[in-house]
Amino acid sequence: MAPSDIFLVLGILLSFFLSIIAMPIFRSIAIRIGLVDKPDHRKIHQNHIPLVGGLAIGFTLLLTLLLLARFELISSALVKLLGGSYVLLIIGAIDDKKDIRASYKLVVQLLCAVIIAMDGYRLTSFHGILGIYDISMVAQYILSVILITGVINAFNLMDGIDGLAGGLMLIGFIILATISYYIGHEFYTLLCLIVAGSLISFLRFNVFSIKHKIFMGDAGSLFLGFLMIGIAIDLINIASKDAIGAEVIWLLPLIIAVFIIPVADSLRVYFTRIKNGNSPFKADRSHIHHLFLELGLKHTKVTFIISMLSLSLVILAFLFHFIWTLDIILLGIVAILSIMYYILNINKQVNEWQQKIKQMESQM
């Protein structure tokens, strides 16, 4: 094992153990200052749950990078990516505590997206999707800012049941770490593994603990969502312009598959709300995890099913890139998700009719 590989292994192990230590400390502080998720009519938990998973992960990432990272590998663009992610971490923590208006949060997200897009974290090509390759500079900025803010909020909306957002992000960062290692980007590999180690620790408290449970909070989903999409965009650009440019052919389907469930679900929910005459930001129980819960499954089973579905789509995208074009792969993924949503919606409608019938019978 090369010395650099030892540092990578050390990164994930160190971040895991530091997080195991940090999580209870942050939990105690959150309880004292009231940084907790309070139960209401839309929530299942009956106790006040600390919203510090994201803060503990952010602290662990920073500390581990200070201990292990080679700072000569950190460019000014990387500093802005990390800086933007920590700005969103702070904004998310304030929102967890005081409920910031959604429009204010969106403005901050857009500003962070614009700043990193100006430093190269933007889409520069469609790489043949729908036959499109080159796109204008204006389109690059517009599409990139929309994509970055869209992904941030998509993962934020996935944080509805125990372990779901954390599980999807864990899969995503491991995939990104694998890609980074393959194309030789040492810093991204280390960064992604550090986050993965922290997420494993977080899931220990979020999913497998009742007495010491913590939630990720908006701080965590905004922080990690921004970091994740920024790294993904840059990896695509690196693979498309370096000597290994041909590798973008298999890299792109993998990255799309990592993000497809949160993004597709948020787009479906927004469209359905608008179609029904409601605000796209009005909270309801129509997300993918809510539809699975309608089957009578427990939170942990739903989290496992959706996480495994995400991982399966990544594996299928990689395997089928050998024989199919990217357009066909994307069409297949959309078809799989559409069939799944159709079946889940039928089940939801049946449950709603059963409840109406029971109400009518009780009133007779």
Strand partners for 87: none
Q: Which residue has the tokens 């998700």?
A: 337
Span 70-101, pLDDT tens digits: 777 788 889 999 999 999 999 999 999 998 88
Cα Dmax for the chain: 76
Query: Does the pLDDT at position 241 exceed 80?
Result: no
| DSSP-H helix ranges across 207-324 | 217-241, 248-275, 288-293, 299-320
SS (H, E, C) 34-86: CCEECCCCCCCCCCCEECCHHHHHHHHHHHHHHHHCCHHHCCHHHHHHHHHHH
Span 186-222, pLDDT tens digits: 999 999 999 999 999 999 999 988 888 999 999 999 9
Query: Does the pLDDT at position 307 exceed 80?
Result: yes
- Which tokens go with 316? 């299928």
Q: Mean pLDDT in the chain?
A: 90
Q: Which residue has the tokens 């069939």?
A: 339
Q: Is residue 239 very low, low, confident or very high in pLDDT (cuts 50, 70, 90)? A: confident
At position 145, the amino acid (one-letter code) is V
Span 1-26, pLDDT tens digits: 555 788 899 999 999 999 999 999 99
Task: In whole angstroms, give the CA distance from residue 190 to residue 196.
Answer: 10
Q: Is residue 69 very low, low, confident or very high in pLDDT (cuts 50, 70, 90)? A: confident
Residue 124 backbone phi and psi in degrees, to 5: -110, -10
